[in-house]
């Protein structure tokens, strides 16, 4: 008589590869909302496997948990998310991803230029900021990649 009331946290952990403690932590951060069985134990939907996969992937891309939460909050609350629901998030996600790829490529190309021309100390080298150019741009750390995802 198993399997009628949803997945246990242990099953979810085994299937996602996450630690049980991590899943509980994610719940605390509002990334996932299991219900409780009469004994107070967490029970998860199969759709939560996808939610957690999404969390793991997003982390790989450098999203913080609050950012991921904001993305997940776009999923419908009442019903199980459909492919279309996920796709809506995916589109947004993909735009950030494209931007990151471009930034990386730009940096790589700068790096190529530097190596190719030996210009590491020239003013036009934008990667190894030569001696001083950064000081022209005012205070605070420079964010070399257009960061702030989402």
Asked if residue 1 binds DNA (CB under 7 A), the reply is yes
Q: Which is nearer to its own copies, 43 or 100 (CB)?
A: 100
Q: What residues between 30 and 89 interact with its own copies by CB under 8 A?
A: 46, 49-50, 53-54, 56-57, 60-62, 83-84, 86-87
* Residue 137 touching its own copies (CB under 8 A): yes
Phi-psi region of 128 (alpha: psi -120 to 50; beta: other; left: phi over 0): beta
Number of residues that bind DNA (CB under 7 A): 24
- Interface with its own copies (CB under 8 A), residue from 28, 70, 115, 150: 115
Q: How far is the CB of 36 from its own copies (least distance, A)?
A: 22
- The verdict on 93 binding its own copies (CB under 8 A) reads yes
> Phi, psi (5° rounding) for residue 25?
-65, -40
The reply to whether 11 sits near DNA by the rule CB under 7 A is yes
Q: Is residue 85 within 8 Å of 75, Cβ to Cβ?
A: yes
Tell me: does residue 33 bind DNA (CB under 7 A): no
Query: Among 30, 35, 57, 59, which residue sits at the site for DNA (rule: CB under 7 A)?
Result: 59
E strand or H helix at 35 = strand 35-36
Instruction: Indicate which single residue of 17, 30, 35, 41 sits in contact with DNA (rule: CB under 7 A).
Output: 41
As a whole number of angstroms, the distance between CA 32 and CA 77 comes to 11
What is the smallest separation between the CB atom of 144 and DNA, expressed in angstroms?
Answer: 13
Cβ within 8 Å of residue 28, ≥6 positions away: none
The 10 Å CB-count burial string (b at 16+, else e) for 33-46 is: ebeeeeeeebbbbe
């Amino acid at each position: 008589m198993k399997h009628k009331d949803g997945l246990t946290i242990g099953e979810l952990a085994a299937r996602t590869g996450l630690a049980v403690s991590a899943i509980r932590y994610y719940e605390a951060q509002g990334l996932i909302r299991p219900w409780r069985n009469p004994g107070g134990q967490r029970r998860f939907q199969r759709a939560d496997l996808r939610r957690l996969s999404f969390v793991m992937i997003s982390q790989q891309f450098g999203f913080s948990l609050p950012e991921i939460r904001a993305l997940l909050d776009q999923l419908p609350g009442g019903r199980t998310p459909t492919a279309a629901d996920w796709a809506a998030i995916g589109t947004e996600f993909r735009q950030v991803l494209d931007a990151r790829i471009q930034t990386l490529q730009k940096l790589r190309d700068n790096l190529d230029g530097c190596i190719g021309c030996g210009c590491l100390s020239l003013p036009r080298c934008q990667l190894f900021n030569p001696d001083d150019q950064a000081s022209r741009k005012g205070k605070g750390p420079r964010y070399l990649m257009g960061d702030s995802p989402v």
